[in-house]
Amino acid sequence: MANEAIPNLTAFDEAALGKAFAALEAQAREAAAVLDGEAAVEAFRLEWLGRKQGRLNEVSGRWLKAAPPEAKKALGVRFNALKAVVEDLLDAALGGGPGDATADAALRAEAIDITLPGTRRLTGAEHPIPRTMNEIVAVFAALGYSVGVGPEVETDYYNFESMNFPPEHPARDTQDTLVVANQERKPLRDRLLLRTHTSPVQMRTMEQQPPPVRIVIPGKVHRNDAADATHSPIFHQVEGLCVDTNITFSDLKGTLDYAMKALFGSSVKTRFFPSFFPFTEPSADVQISCIFCGGKGCRKCKDSGWIELLGCGMVDPAVFAFAAEKQPAYDSRKISGFAFGMGVERIAMMKYGISEIGSFFAGDMRFLGQFA
C-alpha cells in the first residue's frame, strides 16, 4: 500500500495531534509489514528517514512550523515518539532489536568467520651472530668467567700502545685500522680510532681490578678489509683473559680444549702451533680437528684434517707493565696469565655451514628464517 501525502494540519489540540500521528504510525507499520529484501528496506528508510525528502522531515518542516507556540511542545513529543517507532520498524526489518541500530551495525562490521584458520603471528629468532656469541660466552661463564665490555671508539693507547704495539711496529699495518679524521694535532696515544680487536677491554679491566681476573670480551670490531666471502670490515670477536698466580700454558691449553669440545662436540681434538702476537709471549695458533670430515681430510679443511680457529698465548710482561702503572698488583714477577681471541663469524660459519660471510649482514629474511 502506497503511503499517502502528508496533509496540512488545521487544528493543533490534543485530539487532532493524536489522530494525525496515529495515521502516520499506521502507514509506517503497514509499509514495514510488507518489506522483502534489502532494496525494499533501503527504500523504506529513505522514504521515512531521508534527510531531504523523508516523510518525517516533511512533518517537521510543515507541522512544526505551522504550529502555534503553545502546541509546539506537545507536537515535538509526538514527533519523537513516531520517529522512534519508525527506527524500531527499520531495525526489525534489518534483523536487529529495537534501539540496537548502532550497536548492531558495529557488531556486523566486526564480525569474523570463526571457521577460518587464524592469522599466524610470525615470531622472531635470534640472529646467528649474537646466538653464536652467546654460546661462546656461556661456555666460559660456566668456567667462572665474567663478561667485559668497552667502547668501540678507542684511543691509540688502549688499542695499540698498551697492547705492546710500539709506534713503528709492523703489526700496526696488519690491522688495517679505521681512524677518526682530524686527529693529527693530538699526541699519538690520544688519537681516536675504531677498535681493531676487543683487547683494549683487557687493559681497561686490569686498570680497574687487581688480580685475579677472568673475563671474556664479546664485541664488534672494525678493520679496513675489503669485503669478500670470508672477510668483512665489520665483524665480531670474543677475547678472553685469565690472570692469577701460577697460571701456566697448560692452563691455557686445558681451557681452550674444553671450550672447543663444548662448542663442537666431545670428539673434537685441538693442537697448538707457534705463532706471534705483540701482546702474548709465547703465542700460538689453535687448530681443531675438522668437524666436517672428522679429521680424515676434505675440501673444507684442505685435506689436512685440521681447521685453524683462534689465537692465544701467555700475556707478555710488557702488557702487565702498562697495567701496573695504575694497578701495582700486576707485577709480572708475581703473577702470570693467558689471553685468547676468536672470530665469531668464523665459528658461526662452521657451525651452520655458511660459506658467505656477507649473508650475516644482508638482512635477507629467506636466509635468516633458517634460524627461527
The 10s digit of each residue's pLDDT in 256-297 is 999 999 999 999 999 999 999 999 999 999 999 999 888 888
Res 29: pLDDT: 87
The 10s digit of each residue's pLDDT in 72-120 is 888 888 888 888 888 888 888 876 544 445 555 566 666 777 787 777 7
Nearest by Cα to 61 from 4, 6, 3, 2: 6
Alpha-carbon span 42 to 258, nearest angstrom: 80
Q: Which amino acid belongs to residue 291?
A: I
The 10s digit of each residue's pLDDT in 168-188 is 877 777 668 888 999 889 998
Alpha-carbon span 343 to 350, nearest angstrom: 11
Q: Which amino acid belongs to residue 256?
A: L
Nearest by Cα to 83 from 54, 43, 63: 54
Any idea how long the chain is? 372
Q: Using pLDDT thresholds of 50, 70 and 90, give the confidence band for residue 333.
A: very high
Per residue in 59-82, is it b (16+ CB within 10 Å) or e — as a string? beeebeeebeeebeeebeebbeeb
**Contacts of 98-107 spanning 24+ positions with Cβ under 8 A:** none
- Phi, psi for residue 147 in degrees, rounded to 5: -105, 130
Nearest by Cα to 309 from 340, 278, 338: 340
Res 95: pLDDT: 67
Nearest by Cα to 197 from 339, 307, 322: 339
Q: Using pLDDT thresholds of 50, 70 and 90, give the confidence band for residue 7.
A: confident
Q: Using pLDDT thresholds of 50, 70 and 90, give the confidence band for residue 330.
A: very high
pTM above 0.75, yes or no: no
Is the CB of residue 290 less than 8 Å from the CB of residue 300?
Answer: yes
Res 117: pLDDT: 79
Q: Using pLDDT thresholds of 50, 70 and 90, give the confidence band for residue 3.
A: very low
Alpha-carbon span 224 to 179, nearest angstrom: 10
Res 258: pLDDT: 96
Q: Using pLDDT thresholds of 50, 70 and 90, give the confidence band for residue 124.
A: confident
Res 211: pLDDT: 93
The 10s digit of each residue's pLDDT in 240-257 is 999 999 999 999 999 999
